[in-house]
Amino acid sequence: MSRRAPIDDPGDAAPKVSPPKEYAAGMPGVTTALRHSWEQMGARRTALTLLRVNQKQGFDCPGCAWPEGDHRHAAEFCENGAKAVAEEATVRRVTREFFARHPISELAGRSDHWLGQQGRLTEPMLKREGADHYEPVGWDEALAILAEELTALDSPDEAAFYTSGRTSNEAAFVYQLLARAFGTNNLPDCSNMCHESSGSALSETLGVGKGSVLLEDLHKADLIFVVGQNPGTNHPRMLSALERAKKGGARIVAVNPLPEAGLLRFRNPQRPSGLAGRGTPLADRFLQIRLNGDLALFQALNRLLLDRGAIDRRFLDAHTVGLEELVKHLERLDWDAVLEATGLTREQIEATADDVTRAERIIVCWAMGLTQHRNSVPTIREVVNFLLLRGNIGRPGAGVCPVRGHSNVQGDRTMGIVERPSAAFLDALAAEFGFEPPREHGLDTVRAIEAMRDGKVKVFLGMGGNFVRATPDSAVTEAAMRSCRLTAHVSTKLNRSHTVTGRRALILPTLGRTERDVQESGPQFVSVEDSMGMVHASRGRLAPASEHLLSEVAIVCRLGRALGLTGFDWAGMERDYDVIRNHISRVVPGFEDFNRRIREPGGFVLPHAPRDRREFPTLVGRARLTVNELEVLRVPPGRLLLQTVRSHDQFNTTVYGLDDRYRGVRGGRRVVFVHPDDLAALGIADGTVVDLVGEWRDGVERRAPGFRTVAYPTARGCAAAYFPETNVLVPLDSTAEISNTPTSKSIVIRLEPAG
């Protein structure tokens, strides 16, 4: 690890800090959105592009997976959606001259922000063995090299096919088909680092690994929990739904170690009064929980519901198993452990239970604050217990709401991007295409890194994403990538993964959501599935960033041909995406008559048995209440528990800018938020520059150098800093039970004054 700050962000060393904001969006949000867009696109392109985001004839916002309502505003986007669009629709370009000027070794020292600012990739590039530069290469040659390296492997399982969650349904479907036709289920994806824990917990307990609520349910709920989520930054349009729920009388309970601005107050930029007014207070109750305290909190609430006889016996008898064991377990609840784990008082928890017993329709929303801990799966199972106890699944205004990240991460899974496919899915694929797909389970993200490290995976192909920056244990992961024979990335923008290469490397530039996709049969559209199981079409209108771009679908189909995978209609699927959709309609349940229904305005909603019929397709045919052991995560004295979060100015590894407006940070990202009393106890002043040093059982020193301490009202004993700068601290083998998700929200660290 180098101790120097990134060479191109001089301001990064000295961020300016002011008190955090108490409300989200409103006028500052609108002006920031427009400033970013103008900088990247100019005024005319800004107007043309932003007006088409999330419209029924437009393109799906490439930002988050929050659904669009039925009544769309002319401007159905948010500040951060606008930044995501501007990032893609930018007029800046990365050309062959750029790569001639900048050796790869130099690019590897640039910050994520600088790399992203260079603009859109314009033509395929190849790094030959031993070279320190990328050079232009034609598509045919690029795909021939990829095919040659894949074919030369001793086994198809020596390849890994990664996917990030922006890939459309059509591209995802052909991509998983290609991997399986080639012979492997090695399909790691960003979900492995994201909502895998939710999928694991929900499939086991409810039989479906997705959320059970629609947007209108949020409007009808009378109590909404927002747990481990920062919607003001990451799902800004969710605030409109919460505001509407409140107008209808709902109460909101926010559970978070940080007093996030978006949870406290909201000024709706879609309404004139929202720009200047005081805005709507959102959270009625703010539970400032310690990191990792949520299992304890929900267990305590469940115990109180039992004590008060406030459970729905009829529902439980008719639809669930496991009540007796759960009751026995909760009777032994250790309140001291609950208070220690949560950092809350018994009164706060009792008062929350009062909210619960008064509510008829409850929804629990959550995101990464619940999914990225060692005990995430048990924690989410306990949330399911909580909802089941009062019959809050499968009726209007109630249910589970894991809020997804990438705009099509849920759809990619539905299309078969999963390393452990079900037998039913493989059977359907076999029947449709007349081949025998591999049955052995493949590698998830963490296992793929281990396999590269151990020389067992030698070719890496990334469909989008930024693998070396998004994954944990940066030093280990970078070495693993460098040991590959070939690393190749289908990308829109330059990122760090292009600079940490195997012996040979390829950059395969592709169309973005905002762009026209014209194939031999004419203009194409693609489809996506949002966080609530709504499937709809997305059509780009802008001219492609370069004439040399291919769509993701075209790249995959041409690779299929280059690999000589016969018996698949690669050319036909590339020519006309309707052909792909016809295949999907026969393979994936819920997509019957896909081509007709996707053309209906607004699309269609996928079936969800628990939501629609209170049927639970688990192994036992009923919803399962589960017994989850409460273990308090104790941190040694003088240490803190660190969570790694997003600033307001980034999309995962894409850094838009160096500000985090709501948290009061400007002009820098190397900050660590710590409670003032913890700083005092450690004898470290606010504003001191420290190294963050990870402590893990393997004794390896993991150090993230040069972070400015910021005294901040977070929960005691907890710290927060931004990812990806802190990924170096997340040990590769520190993962969640069952889901194997890196524990990016609970890392034990110490602060060392920088030398």
DSSP string over 252-272? EEEE-SS--HHHHEEE-TTSH
Asked whether 257 and 714 are in contact (CB, 8 A), the reply is yes
Q: Rule CB under 5 A: is residue 378 a binding residue for Mo ion?
A: no
- SS3 state at 233: helix
If contact means CB under 5 to 8 A according to the sort of partner, which of ligand MGD, Mo ion, none does residue 255 touch?
ligand MGD
Which residue lies nearer to Mo ion by CB, 17 or 202? Answer: 202
Q: Select 194 or 215, whichever has its Cβ closest to Mo ion.
A: 194
Q: Tokens for 403? A: 């809020």
Report in angstroms how near the CB of residue 204 gets to Mo ion at its nearest: 21
Torsion angle defined by CA atoms of residues 163, 164, 168 and 171, in that order, rounded to the nearest 10 degrees: -20
CB of 193 to ligand MGD, least distance (A): 4
Taking CA atoms, 522 is separated from 550, 577, 578, 584, 593, in Å, by 14, 10, 11, 20, 21
Q: What H or E segment, with its residue span, contains residue 527?
A: strand 526-529
Between 392 and 647, CB nearer to Mo ion: 647
Q: Identify whether the C-beta of residue 750 lies closer than 8 Å to the C-beta of residue 703.
A: no
By beta-carbon proximity to ligand MGD, the closer residue of 193 and 623 is 193
| CB 294, min distance to ligand MGD, A | 5
Of 41-49, 404-412, 492-500, 690-698, the segment contacting Mo ion by CB under 5 A is: 404-412
Cα four-point dihedral sign 36, 41, 47, 48: negative
Of these partners, Mo ion, ligand MGD, none, which one is at the site of residue 258 (CB under 5 to 8 Å by kind)? ligand MGD
What residue 413 binds from Mo ion, ligand MGD, none (CB within 5 to 8 A, per partner kind)? Answer: none
Instruction: Give me the least distance between CB of 81 and ligand MGD, in Å please.
Output: 8
Q: Which among ligand MGD, Mo ion, none contacts residue 46 (Cβ within 5 to 8 A by kind)? A: none
Provide the residue type at 66 as one letter.
W
DSSP 20: P
Question: Pairing between strand 689-694 and 702-711?
Answer: antiparallel
Closer residue to ligand MGD, CB minimum distance, 88 or 158: 88
Tell the smallest beta-carbon distance from residue 522 to ligand MGD (Å): 21
CB-nearer residue toward ligand MGD: 256 or 582: 256
| CB nearer ligand MGD, residue 62 or residue 322 | 62
| Minimum distance from residue 213 beta carbon to Mo ion (Å) | 19
Query: Least separation, in Å, of the C-beta of 396 and ligand MGD?
Result: 26
Given the complex with Mo ion, which of 256 and 299 has the nearer CB atom? 256
Minimum Å distance from CB 206 to ligand MGD? 21
Instruction: Give the nearer residue to ligand MGD in terms of CB position, either 212 or 230.
Output: 230
495 binds, among Mo ion, ligand MGD, none (CB under 5 to 8 A by kind): ligand MGD
Q: What's the min distance (Å) between Cβ of 490 and ligand MGD? A: 4
Residues numbered 427-456 forming contacts with Mo ion, rule: CB under 5 A? none
Judged by beta carbon, residue 316 or residue 488, the one nearer ligand MGD is: 488
From CA 81, how far away is CA 389, in angstroms rounded?
Answer: 37
- CA pair distance 379, 736, nearest whole angstrom: 11
| Cα–Cα distances in angstroms (integers) from residue 261 to residues 249, 365, 401, 648, 660, in the given order | 21, 17, 21, 11, 11
Contact positions vs ligand MGD (CB under 6 A): 63-64, 80, 164-166, 190, 193-194, 227-230, 233-235, 255-258, 260, 289, 291-292, 294, 367-369, 405-406, 463-467, 470, 490-493, 495, 510, 512-513, 552, 643-646, 650-654, 723, 726-727, 730, 744-745
Kindly state the tokens that stand for 30. 């609108």
- Least distance (Å) from ligand MGD to the CB of residue 445? 9
| Residue 363 is a binding residue for Mo ion (CB under 5 A) | no
Instruction: Give the Å distances, CA to CA, from 365 to 352, 380, 698.
Output: 16, 11, 35
CB of 175 to ligand MGD, least distance (A): 10
Question: What, of Mo ion, ligand MGD, none, does residue 319 touch, CB below 5 to 8 Å by kind?
Answer: none
Cα of first residue to Cα of last residue in the chain, in angstroms, is 15
The contact mask relative to Mo ion for 190-229 (x = CB under 5 A, - = no) is ----x-----------------------------------
Helices 294-307 & 323-331 angle (0-180, nearest 10): 100
Number of residues that bind Mo ion (CB under 5 A): 2
Instruction: State the minimum distance, in angstroms, from the CB of residue 177 to ligand MGD.
Output: 17
By CB under 5 A, residue 64 contacts Mo ion = no
We find the least distance from the C-beta atom of residue 622 to ligand MGD, in angstroms, to be: 29
- What is the SS3 assignment for 13? helix
Kindly list the distances between the CA atom of residue 681 and the CA atoms of 288, 347, 408, 503, 674, in Å, as whole numbers in the listed order. 20, 27, 45, 49, 11
Min dist. Cβ of residue 729 to ligand MGD (A): 8
Q: Which residue, 626 or 644, has its beta carbon nearer to ligand MGD?
A: 644
The CA distance from 655 to 469, in Å, is: 12
Identify whether the C-beta of residue 7 lies closer than 8 Å to the C-beta of residue 55.
Answer: no
Binding site partner of 359, from Mo ion, ligand MGD, none, Cβ cut-off 5-8 A by kind:
none
Nearer to ligand MGD by Cβ, of 320 and 379: the residue is 379
Residue 470 interaction partner, one of Mo ion, ligand MGD, none, beta carbon < 5-8 Å per kind? ligand MGD
Site string for Mo ion, 158-197 (x = CB under 5 A): ------------------------------------x---
Please state, in angstroms and rounded to a whole number, the distance separating the CA atoms of residues 84 and 17: 25
Q: Which does 215 bind (CB under 5 to 8 A by kind): ligand MGD, Mo ion, none?
A: none
Selection from 180, 58, 69, 256 nearest residue 427 by Cα: 180
For ligand MGD, the closer CB: 267 or 622: 267
User: Which one, 510 or 739, has the nearer CB to ligand MGD?
Assistant: 510
Q: Does 405 bind Mo ion (CB under 5 A)?
A: yes
* Whether the Cβ atoms of residue 720 and residue 258 lie closer than 8 Å to each other: yes
Minimum CB distance to ligand MGD, residue 725 (Å): 9
Residue 430 burial (CB count, 10 A):
15
* Residue whose CB is less far from ligand MGD, 233 or 626: 233
* Cα 444 to Cα 450: distance, rounded to the nearest angstrom: 10
What's the DSSP call for residue 755? -
The CB-nearest residue to Mo ion is 405
Instruction: List Cβ neighbours of 672 (8 Å cut-off, separation of 6 or more).
Output: 642, 690, 692, 707, 708, 709, 710, 719, 720, 721, 751
User: What are the CA-CA distances from residue 649 to residues 56, 194, 361, 536, 672 (Å)?
Assistant: 28, 19, 35, 28, 16
Give which of Mo ion, ligand MGD, none residue 466 binds (C-beta under 5 to 8 Å, depending on kind): ligand MGD
If contact means CB under 5 to 8 A according to the sort of partner, which of ligand MGD, Mo ion, none does residue 166 touch? ligand MGD
Rank residues 194 and 580 by Cβ distance to Mo ion and give the closer one.
Answer: 194
Q: CB of residue 65 vs Mo ion: minimum separation in angstroms? A: 9
In terms of C-beta density within 10 A (0-12 exposed, 13-18 middle, 19 or more buried), how is residue 168 classed?
buried
Ordered alpha helix ranges (H), 621-724: 676-682
3-state secondary structure at position 661: helix
Binding site for Mo ion (CB under 5 A): 194, 405
